[in-house]
Structure 1
Amino acid sequence: MTDERGQRRIRSDGQATRRRLLDAAAREFADHGIAGARVDRIAEQARANKSQLYSHFPSKEALFDAVLAEHVDALTDTAPLTPHDLPGYAVRLYDAYLADPALVRLATWNRLERRPTGALFPGSHDSTKIAALVERQADATLTPDIDAEDIHSMVIAMAMTWSAASITTTGTASEGQQIHHRRRSSLREAVRRAFVDRPDV
């Protein structure tokens, strides 16, 4: 019979294995997509076996879902929507995409392989964000001439201008800070001019 200390060790080992699997899967999915990813490569990179992988995740698709959800949650924590400071929100998104390019690649694979149309993340908390933007429109902080849902979508797209999904230029953290400063300033000003009614906001 396993004592309490042994059970804690087993749980700890299981959590560590799950962590390694998620990290290895993030790299694999970002590089190869869902169809191209191989569970044997993920298990090998995680210093685990396929049996351990499937004990944590019932399928490769479920593993992808867990990886993507973790990255999206991290983005929400790093760059929460600030409807009173939409330009600042866009800049924080830029920094988050720069720091975690895997997130954009995972989202792109999700779009290409699973959701070619419609909302990329159905059932997300976007409705709460949209409502917050509507409130800012009501107090004249944001332009009322553009639908709040469209404002939300366009700000995200603007922040992704130099992301891993860009069809023009993809920025990297290794670029000089002067370049990033210029892009942040351009993004901040573009969002302000497009959506903020009062220039002092």
Structure 2
Amino acid sequence: MAAPDVSATKQRILDAAVAEFGAYGLAGARIDRIASAAKASKERLYAYFGDKVALFHAVLDTNFAEAMERLSFDGADLPDQAVALFDDMLAKPDIQRMMIWGQLQGESIRMRELAESHPSWERRIGAIRRAQSDGIVDARWDPAELVTMMFGIVFGWLVAPCADGNDGLDEAGLAHRREVVREAVRRICQG
């Protein structure tokens, strides 16, 4: 009899955890629902990840690293970078909600440290500084604060009063929002 595929079980747990944490946040998520959705025992889940907080971190860490590697970055074209981020978050609504839940539930310092310690962070900040030196991006911005503003614009339809989470929009509505993101970041970059 073949040994069970540990990596497949771990991945099922991570996939189930994304949906659970995206829907309920860290505080409201239930390990028994995650285990059931993953077709794994709670004991196996605990053996792989330790506890609910560690599983939440594993999901955020994995998806953050994938996003940092998946999304190219060009400091000279921050408006298009913001649109790429918008589209990436549209494709991963559970991760987008997890990031918001993480902020609400005291994970903001850890999330900032995760971003700043990723190998691509300094490359991204350096790309913005080069664009500032070349006169493409307003040099009065701190590059890290500029990245924060980009995320704020992208996440605006999830956290602002009367926000709709981009739910129920047709392609024309999404195209309009992409242009709003592009134009807002363009104006910020121009100073």
**TM tier, smaller:** 0.7 to 0.9
C-alpha distance in structure 2 between counterparts of 1:173 and 1:33, whole Å: 19
2:173 equivalent in structure 1: 179
Q: d(CA) in 2 for partners of 1:24 and 1:115? A: 20
- Residue 169 of structure 1 deviates from its aligned partner by 2.3
CA contact (8 A) 2:18 2:59 kept: yes
Residues 1:145 and 2:148 aligned together: no
Distance 2:12 2:114 in 1: 28
Q: Deviations over 1:17-53 (max 9, x none)?
A: 1111111111111112212211111111111111111
Taking the aligned partners of 1:10 and 1:84, their CA distance within structure 2 comes to 50
Q: Is the CA contact (8 Å cut-off) linking 2:166 and 2:174 kept in structure 1?
A: no
Could you list the runs of 5+ residues in structure 1 that have no partner in the other structure? 1-5
- Asked if the contact 1:94/1:184 (under 8 Å) is kept, the reply is yes
Structure whose residues are more often helix by fraction: 2
> 1:123 deviation in Å?
4.1
1:93 counterpart = 2:81: no
What CA distance in whole angstroms lies between the structure 2 residues aligned with 1:166 and 1:105? Answer: 14
Which of 20, 23, 48 aligns to 1:31? It is 23
Counterpart for residue 152 of structure 2: 157
What is the percentage of aligned positions where both structures have the same residue? 33
- Aligned partner of 1:40 in structure 2 is 32
Judged with a 3 Å threshold, the aligned counterparts in structure 2 of structure 1 residues 173 and 45 are, in CA distance, closer, same or farther, namely same
Give 1:31-180 correspondences, 5 Å limit. Answer: 31-115=23-107, 118=109, 120-124=111-115, 125=118, 126-162=121-157, 164-172=158-166, 174-180=168-174
- 1:149 Cα deviation from its structure 2 partner: 2.0
Question: C-alpha displacement at 1:114, in angstroms?
Answer: 2.3
* Paired residue type of 1:10: A
Q: Deviations over 1:68-110 (max 9, x none)?
A: 1122123223433221210100101111111111112111121
TM-score, normalising length: structure 2: 0.87
Could you give the per-residue CA deviations for residues 159-200 of structure 1, whole angstroms, max 9, x where no partner exists? 2222x3443323446521111111111221221122047xxx
Q: 1:96 to 1:166 in 2, by over 3 A?
A: farther
